[in-house]
Chains A and B, each alone.
Chain A
Amino acid sequence: MKNRFTWDFLMTRYPAFFPLILLAISIIVNWILQPNMFDRETLNSNMRVFLPLVLVAVGQAVVLIGGGIDISVGGIVSIVNTILATRVGLDGSTELMWRYVLVSILVGLLAGAINGFFIAHLRLQPIITTYATSFLYGGLALFILPNPGGGIPASIAEIYRTTTPLKLPLSFFIIAIILLVWKYISSTRYGKYLFAVGGKADAAYETAVPVTSVQFSIYVISGLMAALAGIAITMLSGSGNAEIGSAITLNSITAVIIGGNSFSGGIGGVTGPVMGAITLSIIQNIISFAHINTWWETLVKATIIVIALAAPGIINLLRRSGP
């Protein structure tokens, strides 16, 4: 009886509890397959690959908490990538790069604001709205860069790859900053508004919460995170491709759900989704290190993800039918 209470307590009070278990398991499996996983160089190269998905998942997590969904994030990532690859170029100056990083962030905010305007102000359904804008953004990226090519100077990409303050990967610090910022935001009034709007929008409205502004803001945040992810992914690859963001949208949603947030909104956090995103990325790692036949990769990966998604439900079922 006491045991049961503890499990329920952990599951409801700490939504990041289960993702933490998943993360721990996947890290252990990865470590067994890749003994040098915690070497400075390996850790750095892994983390910088993980970062774009983590960033998008953070934005997606905020959107889900606020009761929405954003399937245009991949498009925004692609736009940012094509802007940087075409405007900065392989032999652009550092100054030019920073200028377009700024432009990219503004573009992300603007794209998010467009989503937010249609959803919050015109009250359209989020899934179909962001689906429509994903075509707009994806099309725009393809318009900017019809064929893969271009890029950013190798020296700048190198900064992202080799900067390791305190011998820790740069990505590590970025994630830490994000988690701290979230910790702060979730205890501010805006944080309360976010959960209130996602939980029950009309009740929040009656309580004088500025519902429309909050709904608008979550898409702007998501746009910003997608732009940052676009910058990271460009720094990582060094080149441009209009389809670079297409896989990241659905992955970010899976990461957020594995991270313990729910589609119904008003619950969860950002820590769980960050762990969810890292777990997803590690699963990819495990598959490449486990020397699985290439033909089997997709199936194995998808099966692991489905099992990870099903695990809390299966545990609940077993516990209910148990003594």
Chain B
Amino acid sequence: MAKSLSARNIIKRYGGVEALSDGNLDVHTGEVVALVGANGSGKSTMSKVINGVVVLDGGQLFLDDKPVQLSSPQSAKKLGIATVFQELSLIPQMTVAENIWLTREPMTAYGTVNRKEIDKKTNELLSLFQGTYKTDIHPHDPVASLPADEKQIIEILKAISVDPWLIILDEATASLDSRQVTRLFDLVKHWKEAGKAIVFVSHRMEEIFRIADNYSVLRNGKTVGSGKMSDINEKDLVKLMIEKESVFSFSRTGSKKPDKADKPMCLEVDGLHTTTLKGISFRVREGELVGIGGLRGQGQRDLLLSLYGAKPHSGKIKINGKESKFNHPRQAMKKGLALVPGDRAREGLLYIRSILENLLLPSWKKYGFPLKIAKAKHDAGKIAESLNLKMAGLNEPVSSLSGGNAQKVVIGKWLMRQPSLLLLNDPTKGVDVGTKAEFYSLLTNLCNEGKTILFYSSDDEELIGLCDRVLVLHDGIIRTELSGETLTKENLIAASLGISNGGAL
């Protein structure tokens, strides 16, 4: 039976800020609609509207052309609408099975949860992603013990366990590796054929063109265009998302990369071991922009954290020729290192504190006693300006910023310290195209100024476009190093999957 859901002229305000001023969306069974827009354009709010999490300030939802009220996630679920959340909706202390079936547990006649049944049904769901897990997941594993990508998969399984007719995938691919994304897309195609409708929210253009049938573009809380994917190309779609013609030409491949072979060594790593790394050795020269690639969770995070002294490790690390053994990030910072962590909400920011305090957190010591607040404000203001940070004021909390601007604060707090070696963990994850372009030129400029950058990204295009060289990690070792001619998408993917074809090692 064909079903449809429409949102008309949706208005939603948070405090005084209008997150949606005229949001519209149409979705029918048997189609995948891509909901696209820059950060802060209202995409997440729109998916919350469809899921009943937010109270509407105006507008109307229609189910099969009849007006409906979604007063809570419960009522949305009853109508067969399920959401895969970007911020995880899992309870870390509970097991995989308990999480997936929470509120819908199979029961015995005595009113208790039927353990056998719940395990059986959980295993059935887990088998959908069979082969993409690092180690097999058991229904009784606590969710807290799983890596981020597998948590995201559990989140997806939890949503489809309701057997909904409408599935909202809100940035669901952001923490998945390419193998998992491919599996998810196979499933999406299957669901579509089975008569389900899917709303797909993503920043990744390539994925949108791979999977979506229709698109709907939000800009500043307004729906500014919609239509068939087959009628539009990437450039026009991006144009719709950003008001002005954007600087999307971030690629450095065109410009000649200056030769850095004569520069001194900035970073030398020999035989680095941690619980996930099995002997990593590489060298980086001053002013180089070196990428780290590979599927998610192959040790990239551990590598960056170990270099930064935030993770116990063994092996030899030399910074600027001097052997260094860091036990705490403080020591690394003193040697000019900086880390932009992968999860900005949990690792990078103090959400309820002001932008000023976030920018200055690593630098307060410089301002003496009593702290010279005026000077600190001046310095922070300069950095904010140079990063083109859009904010109401330095004293506003970071929680008032959109994702891209919040990420600028994370980078800005390190730029205030003038670091010589920057470690970046997927800094463009969940960041809109406009801000991404700004980051690319920022990174290029920093390298030209002689700073060294070690840059992990889950976006292969970025690595190829920006980096001098890319080290591909697989299962805790550097599988391949790609540079110059060998740095192509085919080689990168092959190396990521552990297939060495044409690698330069």
Contact = CB atoms under 8 A, between A and B. Distances in A.
- Indicate whether A and B are direct neighbours in the complex (CB within 8 Å): yes
Contacts of B105: 189, 192
A204 B112 contact: no
Majority secondary structure of chain B interface residues (helix, strand, loop or mixed): loop
Interface stretch (B72-80, B129-137, B196-204): B72-80
Contact of B89 (A187, A188, A206): A206
Nearest to B103: A208
A188 B103 contact: no
Given A188-B113, A189-B113, A205 B94 contact: no
B85 interface: yes
B74 A208 contact: yes
A199 B95 CA distance: 12
B93 A267 contact: yes
B16 interface: no
B103 A203 contact: no
A205 B73 contact: yes
Nearest to A65: B93
Given A184-B112, A187-B112, A207-B89, A192 B98 contact: yes
A206 B85 contact: yes
A50 interface: no
For chain B, the bracket of interface size reads 20 to 34
Among the interface residues B98, B103, B111, which one has the most CB atoms of the partner chain A within 10 A? B103
Interface string A166-193: 0000000000000000001001110111
Given A189-B103, A206-B85, A199 B53 contact: no
A117 interface: no
Contacts of A191: 113
A203 B90 contact: yes
Given A189-B103, A189-B105, A189-B107, A203 B89 contact: yes
Interface string A198-226: 01100111111100000000000000000
A189 B104 CA distance: 8
A196 B99 CA distance: 8
A267 B92 CA distance: 10
A18 interface: no
A191 B115 CA distance: 14
B91 A188 contact: no
A209 B73 CA distance: 9
Interface string B356-377: 0000000000000000000000
A191 B107 CA distance: 13
A196 to B, nearest CB: 5
A285 B358 CA distance: 53
B73 A207 contact: yes
Among the interface residues A184, A204, A207, which one has the most CB atoms of the partner chain B within 10 A? A207
Nearest to B158: A207
B205 interface: no
A120 to B, nearest CB: 16
B113 A209 contact: no
B249 to A, nearest CB: 40
B166 to A, nearest CB: 16
11 contacts: A184-B112, A189-B103, A189-B107, A192-B105, A196-B91, A199-B91, A200-B91, A200-B92, A203-B89, A208-B103, A266-B92
Top 6 A-B residue pairs of the complex, sorted by shortest distance between their CB atoms: A199-B91, A208-B74, A266-B93, A187-B112, A206-B89, A199-B93
Interface of A: 184, 187-189, 191-193, 195-196, 199-200, 203-209, 266-267
